[in-house]
């Protein structure tokens, strides 16, 4: 716990919709003081309306290290420290190799890898001993899926970064893990870049491939983050935890 509040403090990047939003709600219910970030003014405003009043909603574009700097200063000013950083902001769009251009590649790596790394770097001085860092990965690292090469590469980079950082930060009492969801029903599905009929087909066929027979919910992932943030997970670091309904085991 930090010095300026009796509550543990959690930062959720990309906390304005989907998994991040559900996790912000879960952590708030768990007793955390919560800050969330996003970059889109509409979703930031919508998050402000639906999240509990005392959740802090901040604009910080994960592509811009200067925004991470300002974010860290704001967390410091408000709370003086941090007990959990959930580095969840991310994007993912389908593209066959021929359609991948530099802008596509850069956007994915800038948000999913560079953004997560530099956000952690900037908030690192605020993380107290006993705190946790959780990165957002994806089951796609385990699977070969067509049209998904760039996105999978970003999540592979994250998984690899987590193992190094877990060892590097362990002497400071900071645990670092990655939570890797399978398909989860969030606004991300509408951003995949699939035409309407293909998206409807994608949604319909997902459960067929999942041993537990349904697509994941944002709350399924939020509960895992909540567990990893809790003292019950105090001996867990450097792991990649799949929340995929058995998808990867069944392949
Ligand atoms: N849904 C799935 O099936 C699934 C599966 C595996 C992994 N994941 C991962 O889970 C994480 C959350 O995804 P989700 O499904 O909850 O998707 P989502 O509903 O689209 O949420 C993405 C979040 O990231 C934020 N974000 C995007 N670009 C940003 C930027 N440049 N700067 C700051 N924030 C940014 C969004 O805010 P804005 O609205 O402001 O852009 C939003 O809050 C992602 O890392 C994703 O790769 C999702």
| Tens-place pLDDT, residues 134-186 | 999 999 999 999 999 999 999 999 999 999 999 999 999 999 999 999 999 99
The finding on whether 183 has its CB within 6 A of some atom of ligand 1 is yes
The finding on whether 117 has its CB within 6 A of some atom of ligand 1 is no
b/e sequence 87-104, b meaning 16+ C-beta within 10 Å:
bbbbbbbbbeeeeeeeee
What average pLDDT does the segment 90-95 reach? Answer: 96
Choose which residue among 12, 13, 19, 22 to substitute to test ligand 1 binding: the one with the highest number of ligand atoms within 8 A of its C-beta.
19
Q: Does the annotation count 235 as an active-site position?
A: no
User: Using CA positions, which residue lies closest to atom 46 of ligand 1?
Assistant: 90
- The rounded Å distance from CA 10 to ligand 1 centre is 17
Sign of the CA dihedral with 159 first, then 161, 162, and 166 last: positive
Identify the H or E element spanning 12.
Answer: strand 9-13
**Does position 27 have pLDDT exceeding 70, yes or no?**
yes
Q: Which two tokens stand for residue 235?
A: 């001996």
- The rounded Å distance from CA 171 to ligand 1 centre is 31
Nearest atom in ligand 1 to the alpha carbon of residue 188 is 20
10 and 2 in contact (C-beta within 8 Å)? no
Identify the H or E element spanning 76.
Answer: helix 65-79
Domains of the chain as residue ranges with CATH: 9-250 (3.40.50.720)
**Does position 108 have pLDDT exceeding 70, yes or no?**
yes
**Does position 67 have pLDDT exceeding 80, yes or no?**
yes
- The rounded Å distance from CA 16 to ligand 1 centre is 9
Q: Which residues contact 170 (CB under 8 A, 6 or more apart)?
A: 237
Give the pLDDT score at 202: 86
Compute φ and ψ for 133, nearest 5 degrees: -125, 130
Choose which residue among 114, 135, 141, 188 to substitute to test ligand 1 binding: the one with the highest number of ligand atoms within 8 A of its C-beta.
188
Give the pLDDT score at 3: 56
Nearest atom in ligand 1 to the alpha carbon of residue 63 is 31
Q: Left, alpha or beta for 61 (phi > 0: left; psi -120 to 50: alpha)?
A: beta
The finding on whether 62 has its CB within 6 A of some atom of ligand 1 is yes
Neighbours of 162 (CB within 10 A): 23
Q: What is the pLDDT of residues 40-59, one digit of tens each?
A: 999 999 999 999 999 999 99
Q: In what order do the strands lie in the sheet with 175-181?
A: 56-59, 33-38, 9-13, 82-87, 127-136, 175-181, 240-243
Give the pLDDT score at 2: 56
**Does position 1 have pLDDT exceeding 80, yes or no?**
no
Give dist(CA 22, CA 143) in Å, integer.
Answer: 26
User: Using CA positions, which residue lies closest to atom 42 of ligand 1?
Assistant: 14
Q: Which two tokens stand for residue 243?
A: 């929340």
């Amino acid at each position: 716990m930090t010095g300026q509040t009796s509550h543990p403090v959690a930062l959720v990047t990309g906390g304005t919709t989907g998994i991040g939003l559900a996790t912000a709600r879960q952590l708030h219910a768990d007793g955390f003081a919560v800050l969330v970030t996003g970059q889109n003014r509409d979703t930031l405003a919508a998050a402000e309306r639906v999240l509990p009043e005392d959740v802090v909603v901040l604009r910080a574009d994960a592509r811009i290290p200067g925004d991470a700097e300002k974010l860290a200063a704001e967390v410091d000013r408000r709370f003086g420290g941090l007990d959990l950083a959930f580095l969840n902001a991310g994007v993912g769009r389908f593209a066959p190799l021929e359609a991948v251009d530099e802008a596509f590649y850069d956007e994915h790596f800038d948000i999913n890898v560079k953004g997560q790394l530099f956000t952690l770097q900037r908030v690192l001085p605020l993380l107290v001993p006993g705190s946790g860092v959780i990165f957002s990965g994806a089951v796609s690292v385990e699977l070969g899926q067509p049209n998904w090469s760039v996105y999978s590469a970003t999540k592979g980079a994250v998984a690899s970064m987590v193992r190094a950082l877990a060892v590097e930060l362990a002497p400071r009492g900071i645990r670092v893990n990655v939570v890797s969801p399978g398909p989860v029903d969030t606004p991300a599905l509408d951003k995949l870049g699939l035409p309407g009929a293909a998206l409807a087909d994608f949604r319909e066929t997902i459960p067929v491939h999942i041993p537990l027979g349904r697509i994941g919910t944002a709350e399924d992932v939020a509960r895992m983050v909540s567990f990893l943030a809790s003292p019950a997970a105090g001996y867990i670091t450097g792991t990649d935890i799949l929340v995929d309904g058995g998808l990867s085991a069944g392949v």
